Amino acid sequence: MNILPVCIAVLLTAGTVLAGPSAVEKNGQTSEVKLEAPVSGHLADLNGKYKLRASETVYQLGGYIGEHHHAGPGIRFVAAGELTYVQGTKTTVYKKGDYFYESGDVTHTATNKTSQPVIIINFELLPSDWSGSSAIVPQSSPEQSAASKKP
Mean of pLDDT over the chain = 83
Kindly report the CATH number assigned to the domain that includes residue 83: 2.60.120.10
CA-based nearest residue to 130, from 23, 30, 17, 14: 17
**CA-CA-CA-CA torsion for 18, 21, 26, 31, nearest 10 degrees?**
100
pLDDT digits (tens, 9 = 90+) for 10-26: 444 443 334 444 589 99
Residues in a beta bridge with 125: 52
pLDDT digits (tens, 9 = 90+) for 93-122: 999 999 999 999 999 999 999 999 999 999
Q: Does residue 42 carry a pLDDT above 80?
A: yes
17 occurs within a structural domain = yes
pTM for the whole structure: 0.77
Total tally of structural domains belonging to the chain:
1
52 occurs within a structural domain = yes
Among 82-96, 110-124, 126-140, the least confident range: 126-140
147 occurs within a structural domain = no
30 occurs within a structural domain = yes
Range of the domain at 52: 3-129
145 occurs within a structural domain = no
Residue 102 · residue 110 · CB < 8 Å: no
Give Dmax (Cα) for the chain.
56
Eight-state DSSP code of residue 49: T
88 occurs within a structural domain = yes
103 occurs within a structural domain = yes
Give the end-to-end CA distance of the chain in Å, rounded to a whole number: 56
64 occurs within a structural domain = yes
For the chain, the residue count is: 151
